[in-house]
A and B are shown apart, each in its own frame.
Chain A
Amino acid sequence: MKNFYFILIFALVSMVLNPSMANAKLRILTTTTTLAGIAREVGGDRAAVESLTKGSQEPHSIEAKPSYMVKARDADVLILSGLDLEIGWLSNILQGARNPKIQKGHSGYLEASQFIDPLDVPQGKVDRAEGDIHPFGNPHFQLDPVRVQKVALGIAKRLAEIDPSGKSVYDQNAASFNTKISRDIDRWKKEVTASKVVTVVTYHRSFAYFFDRFGVTSVGELEDKPGIQPSPNHLLDIMKIIREKKVPCILQESFFPPKGAERIHDETGVKVINVATEVDALPGISTYEDLIQKLVDSISECGRKS
């Protein structure tokens, strides 16, 4: 009897110290809020999903806070973008989490980029003189709804491997999500076409996949090179491009500083539109569909005569 009380007290104390032990749902941790949004669609009621980062944070340059290790310690599954998006910070969190389930090579470690064909893969030797480029390709594939459909299927497959009793739920949730997205894509394409916007300028190459899908071209980035902040000379070059090509707007990712874009607006009058590239980055964007719809709305706004 003494042993029984001891075990009971130990279990209660453990649950108080670590509340997640009391929760029977599959605990999914993602590196970004957009991956969390997709994982929520697929996991449904069987999963408790949390993102390490907030939507308002720039995902390349996160600090590996020990509090993130606490979240990773308790996770059953970690979903990351991959393509080196998280190279500057995730390895420390994985090491500090002391959770074998989510280490690379285990079933709880899921790199979403394995399900897509990447764009902007550099040819030949990669050199830091070209800035902070990603040797395996552009990691911002979350803005292409077609690639995200593949990611949703990949997540469903992996969740079913970890939690076989939920296979039919995960498969069904992924299929429902993909049906919704397929329906939306046709409408989004029509809206972008109707905007007559074919060229824009952005801060970073965050929209390569979105533009590739919807037929828009970025004619320049405000960054001198990836990860290198805009220099005055480079901004002058961008102003020239905007004037020559009659670019209607700059899409400014919400987590990058707006000073460069504001200066160009003052000089050229070009519209500057603040846009989200992750779920929860701006008010009113709480799902994946919200994120893409807002981007499409921004393109429409870009094409509107002011």
Chain B
Amino acid sequence: MRGFLAALICLVISELSVLAQSMNPDVSANGLLLYRKGNHSSSVNSDKPNGFSIQEIETQLSSTVDPYFKANFMFSFEMQPGENGKSPEFHFSPEEAFVETLSLPMVTVRAGKFKAFLGRHNQIHTHARPFIDQPLAYDKILGDEGLNEVGISAAYLVPSPWYFEIVAQGLSARNNNLFDKDSADDIAGVFFVKNLWDLTDSTSFELDGTYGIGNNAQASKTQLFDAAATVKWRPLAYSSEQSVAWTTEWLHAMHQMDGTGAHNEAGVSSWLQFQFLKNWWLESRGELYMTGAYDNVQTKKASGLIGYIFTEYSALRAQYDAQKEQAKKLEHRVSLQLNISIGAHPAHAY
């Protein structure tokens, strides 16, 4: 009898354990180990310091909540320059935390803290970026984290023969570079449209546009404009062996100054990604950043990257950058990145 009871208890515990596991959210982590060497970045507190560093560790939990919602929570540990001469420190922050609807026809509503639908690059997490760093225009105009705010969005899939999505977003206007971070109740409006056409079974063309507006610290408005186009080719047969993608993105911020006109800043990035064997990638990128008039080029940057992808969970990438800011000496920088993923990481967007 005792044996029977023990067996029964074991069976119940085992069943409960299976049930608990099947209810667990998908958990994953990404780690980015970075080595940099450049002729401008000798200080540990520079934004791109030389030497070894942990670029980022990101953990993600995602799961359906119930038949109506899906939730994603992403946390990052990132090394940031120390303040007032202190050593760099790891900072822990919720990178994204949002719920999305599952049961509404044609529309997905998202609420929480999330990377805004903006241009081609804003929603990409650090480990999935095409290059080790983000585009120059994002860095200069949006800042390190891009536009990543608390708010709500509604994404409508238009009933058209091609992919045509319209997204309206209301976000807290706290982005340091664009808006008035000290005003608690300001809401920025960001509107995004995305189109994708299949030109052939192997080739697609994507065209996106973004417009944003919010109050800035000069008691006036900042407007944001973005346009991006991508042509992508991947053959049907042996599709994991080769592909080519060419993207060009233009980002422009117009900061109205109270009574003194407007301050403009804009940047353009164009990058080519070429997968020439199953595991090998070659990439190149050219970028400009301007302020004031369009002929007032402040910064030029050229980058090249070679990547070896062991599997979809591990990769080694080497990138070279040459950057010239107006008055400064030409900067050369080499970066090596080891990119590791573990756990049940959700599939990346196309």
Report which A residues bind B (CB closer than 8 A).
14, 17-19, 21, 54, 56-58, 61-67, 69-70, 73, 87-89, 91-92, 95-100, 103-105, 128, 132, 227-229, 254-257
Asked if A228 and B204 sit within 8 Å, CB to CB, the answer is: no
Q: Does chain A have a CB within 8 A of B196?
A: yes
Asked if A255 and B238 sit within 8 Å, CB to CB, the answer is: yes
Given A91-B346, A98-B157, A255-B237, does the pair A70, B105 have CB atoms closer than 8 Å?
no
Please, how many angstroms separate the alpha-carbon atoms of A83 and B75 in the complex? Answer: 30
Query: In the complex, what residues of B have CB within 8 A of residue A89's CB?
Result: 347
Excluding A66-B163, A100-B103, 20 further A-B contacts by CB distance (< 8 Å) are: A18-B159, A19-B161, A57-B236, A61-B239, A61-B240, A64-B349, A66-B165, A66-B196, A70-B161, A73-B157, A91-B346, A91-B347, A92-B349, A92-B350, A95-B108, A97-B157, A98-B104, A98-B157, A100-B105, A229-B279
Question: Which parts of B135-180 form the interface with A (CB within 8 Å)?
Answer: 155, 157-163, 165
A18, A54, A98, A228: which contacts B236 (Cβ < 8 A)? A54
The 10 closest A-B pairs by CB, nearest first: A66-B163, A18-B159, A66-B196, A100-B103, A67-B198, A56-B236, A61-B240, A98-B157, A257-B238, A56-B237
Q: Chain A: which residue is nearest B155 at the CB level?
A: A98
Asked if B198 and A105 sit within 8 Å, CB to CB, the answer is: no
Asked if A54 and B201 sit within 8 Å, CB to CB, the answer is: yes
Asked if B349 and A17 sit within 8 Å, CB to CB, the answer is: no
Please, how many angstroms separate the alpha-carbon atoms of A104 and B240 in the complex? Answer: 28
Query: In the complex, what residues of A have CB within 8 A of residue B105's CB?
Result: 98-100
Question: Which parts of B206-242 form the interface with A (CB within 8 Å)?
Answer: 206, 234, 236-241
Question: Which parts of B255-282 form the interface with A (CB within 8 Å)?
Answer: 278-279
Please, how many angstroms separate the alpha-carbon atoms of A261 and B271 in the complex? Answer: 36
Given A18-B160, A19-B161, A100-B104, does the pair A256, B238 have CB atoms closer than 8 Å?
yes
Query: In the complex, what residues of B have CB within 8 A of residue A91's CB?
Result: 346-347
Asked if A95 and B70 sit within 8 Å, CB to CB, the answer is: yes
Q: Chain B: which residue is nearest A73 at the CB level?
A: B157
Asked if B311 and A227 sit within 8 Å, CB to CB, the answer is: yes
Number of interface residues of B (CB under 8 A): 43
Asked if B162 and A70 sit within 8 Å, CB to CB, the answer is: yes
* Interface pairs (21), CB distance under 8 Å: A17-B158, A17-B159, A54-B201, A56-B237, A57-B239, A61-B240, A62-B239, A65-B196, A65-B198, A70-B157, A70-B162, A88-B312, A89-B347, A92-B347, A95-B102, A96-B157, A97-B157, A98-B105, A100-B104, A227-B311, A257-B241
Query: In the complex, what residues of A have CB within 8 A of residue B234's CB?
Result: 63
Query: In the complex, what residues of B have CB within 8 A of residue A21's CB?
Result: 159
Asked if A69 and B157 sit within 8 Å, CB to CB, the answer is: yes
Please, how many angstroms separate the alpha-carbon atoms of A257 and B105 in the complex? Answer: 41
Please, how many angstroms separate the alpha-carbon atoms of A259 and B266 in the complex? Answer: 48
Query: In the complex, what residues of B have CB within 8 A of residue A64's CB?
Result: 347, 349-350
Asked if B346 and A103 sit within 8 Å, CB to CB, the answer is: no
Asked if A105 and B67 sit within 8 Å, CB to CB, the answer is: yes
Asked if A228 and B70 sit within 8 Å, CB to CB, the answer is: no
Q: Does chain A have a CB within 8 A of B6?
A: no
